[in-house]
Amino acid sequence: MIRLALRWVLALFYAVAGYFHLASPAPFLKIMPDAVPWPEAVVLWTGIAELAGAAGLIQPWSPALKRAAGIGLALYALCVWPANINHMIMDMARADGGFGLAYHIPRMVAQPVIIWLALWVSGTTDWPFRHR
């Protein structure tokens, strides 16, 4: 029951994020590392990936599609981590200190949790709750 509830929470999180990537890309472009080519296209396609992953997590027909969505969202979260690190560095370098460590440290810690959660709620892994 908890896995199902968290699957819906994660799907809602990614659906909202995907919507904002498409509807309001400016904040995402602002934190994009300079080394990323075609940043507008990357933001567009990441929004589409988030929406597709959210839909894949909650569809009831195919466990394989649900696992694929979980793996895709986990890989997505891993791939956007550099943008989050870049955002932290740029923000903390501001004269006013930006949002501060109270904002950025939990965000950095949450990233591996989100990666694991995508894998767990999709049924890709049972770790650390393996049944004996």
How confident is the model at residue 50, as a pLDDT? Answer: 96
Q: Provide the 3-class DSSP secondary structure of residue 72.
A: helix
* Cβ partners under 8 Å of residue 63, min gap 6: 123
Q: What is the pLDDT of residue 112?
A: 93
* Whole-number Å distance between alpha carbons of 12 and 57: 10
Q: Cβ contacts of residue 39 below 8 Å, gap of 6+?
A: 29, 32
Separation of alpha carbons 30 and 36, rounded Å? 12
| Per-residue model confidence as pLDDT tens digits over 74-130 | 999 998 888 888 888 888 888 888 888 888 888 888 999 999 999 999 999 988 887
Q: What is the pLDDT of residues 57-77, one digit of tens each?
A: 999 899 999 999 999 999 999
pLDDT digits (tens, 9 = 90+) for 24-39: 999 989 888 888 899 9
Alpha carbon 12 to its chain's center: 11
Output the six-digit token pair for 33.
């590392």
Hey, what are 57's tokens? Answer: 């997590």
Q: Please give the Cα distance from 58 to 90 (Å, whole number).
A: 35
pLDDT at 101: 85
Residue 130, SS3? coil
Residue whose C-alpha is closest to residue 59's, from 67, 48, 71: 67
Helix locations, the chain, DSSP H: 2-23, 26-30, 39-58, 63-92, 101-121
